[in-house]
Amino acid sequence: MILVGDVGGTNTRLAFAVQRGGAWRFERLAVMPTATDVSSLINRYLLEAGEPKIGAVAFCGAGPLATDGRIQLTNRDTVLEPDLIARAAGVDTAMLVNDFAAVAAAIPELPGDALMPIGGGACQPDAPRLVIGAGTGLGVASLVPAVPGWIVVPGEGGHADLAPVDDEQCQAWKLLLAAHGRVSAEMVLSGPGLERLHTALAKGQQRCAAEIAEAAWRGEAVAAKVVQLFTRWLGSFAGNLALTVGAQGGVYLAGGIVPAWGGHFDPRLFRQGFEQKPPYVDWLRRIPSFVVTHPQPGLYGLAVLAAQRSPRN
């Protein structure tokens, strides 16, 4: 049994991963607000679970993995330290990776019904894959083929500059620049980014991300425009990254926003932004894209990585 933990900028998810029928299942899943002291969350979780025997521990965090093995969360004053996590869990060592490295590790192992196609052609099986997720922040990672299996390449692409490509985006970009300074992809293509975009286009009116989405589904003009702009801009950014990594194995959208939008997410607008990059329109048109519908892809990837390191667990 593997203790897995996904520590995000908003919530922390803990569970016991067990493999049944070739797929990973998660028992005693707990979702709680992320705390500065993650060890206390682990202690309380294990105490309530009856302090079971754990074979391995794997955690991920929403920030880059430092050379000393720690992760400082990008959007929260929380530091993950593998030694402290291992001590809290009662084991000798704990694996610690970037959160989207964990999501990327899950992609080749997820059941087919956990990936919803949203356009493009067929996957090239031996080509790189790209994973993007908008939530509290904007996660990015890629997979490159190896023999055997895949190599996960984490990155901080969400903090790259975000470029406007038409008049509508230029107008929004200028408003964001005036209000916030440098416009990064995460500044716009995240939950807080959706809120910033709405505030800019609604002349100062503030709403949370969930309220903006609900207003858009009701047909409110400004909210609908914000969601449409967000969707097309996300596609444009994803297309940039697909060109960069040669992601002919597919582009996979995870995170807290797009999967939660479900049928309200507009694949046509996403693919419009994704593909309109002459002279590579046809090349991009062939790249398939998917929404990751599995509820816990980060935990799934952690289980995969932990099992690869310790096959007996």
Predicted local confidence at residue 69, as pLDDT: 93
Tell me the C-alpha to C-alpha distance, in Å, between residue 88 and each of 22, 57, 93, 223: 29, 10, 11, 44
Say whether both 274 and 234 belong to one domain.
Answer: yes
Contact in structure between 59 and 50 (CB atoms under 8 Å): no
Cα–Cα distance between 5 and 166 in angstroms, integer? 41
pLDDT of residue 312: 52
CA atoms within 13 A on the CB side of 222: 17
Q: Name the β-bridge partners of 184.
A: 161
Query: pTM for the complete prediction?
Result: 0.94
Task: State whether 273 and 173 are in the same domain.
Answer: yes
Q: Residue 72 maps to which CATH number? A: 3.30.420.40
CATH number at residue 224: 3.40.367.20
Answer yes or no: are the C-beta atoms of 299 and 107 closer than 8 Å.
Answer: no
| Same-domain check for residues 272 and 300 | no
User: Letter for the amino acid at 182?
Assistant: R
Helix extents (H) in 12-81: 38-48
Among positive and negative, which fits the CA dihedral 114, 120, 121, 126?
A: negative
User: Is 203 in contact with 211 (CB distance < 8 Å)?
Assistant: no
On the 0-12 / 13-18 / 19+ scale of CB atoms within 10 A, 105 is: buried
91 and 31 part of one domain: yes
- Is residue 147 domain-shared with residue 288, that is, in the same domain? yes
Closest C-alpha among 261, 264, 247 to residue 292:
261
Which domain covers residue 182, as residue numbers?
113-292
Q: Which helix (H) or strand (E) holds 280?
A: none
C-alpha to C-alpha distance for 141 and 148, rounded to whole angstroms: 19
Same domain for 303 and 241, yes or no, is no
What type of residue is 228?
Answer: Q
Asked if residue 6 lies in contact with residue 12, where contact means CB atoms within 8 angstroms, the answer is yes
- DSSP label of 301: H
Q: Phi, psi (5° rounding) for residue 126?
A: -110, 30
Domain count within the chain: 2
Q: What is the pLDDT of residue 309?
A: 83
- 75 and 173 inside one domain: no
Tell whether 181 and 282 lie within a shared domain: yes
Regarding whether 216 and 72 lie in a shared domain, the answer is: no
Q: Are residues 225 and 263 in the same domain?
A: yes
Write out the two tokens for 91: 């084991």
Q: Are 154 and 257 part of one and the same domain?
A: yes
Give me the average pLDDT of each 10-residue run along the chain (313 residues): 93 94 91 93 94 92 94 93 95 95 96 95 95 95 93 94 96 96 97 96 93 96 97 98 97 96 97 97 98 96 91 49
Q: What is the pLDDT of residue 313?
A: 44
Whether residues 153 and 129 share a domain: the answer is yes
